[in-house]
Structure formats: structure tokens, C-alpha cells
Amino acid sequence: MHEPYQLPPGTPDLLTVGEVARIFRVSPKTVSHWAKTGRLRCLRTLGGHARFPREVVETFLARTDPASARRT
């Protein structure tokens, strides 16, 4: 069994849709869909942009293989 992906040191505490998309190798639309459906919890800026707490992304990474995340 391989080790789970870990975010590199220096990763900000709040990640953008694009940053999360790059981590999971999916489109930003997929990440937005995950947020909209509650699969991945996010915070919203005053302008309505999604921001993902680092801890939420790390937990999602621990329970989701990035390769399988692309299929949903």
C-alpha cells in the first residue's frame, strides 16, 4: 500500500479552487461541484469565492485516492 499524498510544507491555510484542483488533478469545476454538493467543505469569501481549509483538504486526501476522485 502506498503512502497517502501529503500537502507540501508551506501550503497556505486556505486553498483556492484551482489549488485544490491541481492537488487532485481534476478540473476546477469538479472541485466547485464537490463544494456545492457538500462533499468537500469550504468557506466563502465576501465576494462569494470558495476557500478550502487545509485541514479539510488533508482529511479528504486521507480518505480519497486522487485517482479515484477523478472518476466521480
The DSSP call for residue 43 is: E
DSSP structure string for 55-71:
HHHHHHHHHS-HHHHTT
Number of domains in the chain: 1
CATH number at residue 55: 1.10.1660
pLDDT, tens digit, 9 for 90 and up, residues 14-65 = 999 999 999 888 999 999 999 999 999 999 999 999 999 999 998 998 887 6
List all residues 6 or more positions away from 31 whose beta carbon is below 8 Å from its beta carbon. 17, 20, 21, 24, 40, 50, 52
Check if the beta carbon of residue 7 is closer than 8 Å to that of residue 54. Answer: yes
Task: Please check the confidence at residue 72 and state whether its pLDDT lies above 70.
Answer: no
On whether residue 37 sits in a domain, the answer given is yes
Range of the structural domain that residue 64 is part of: 17-69
Look up the pTM and report it.
0.76
Of residues 67 and 19, which shows the higher confidence score? 19
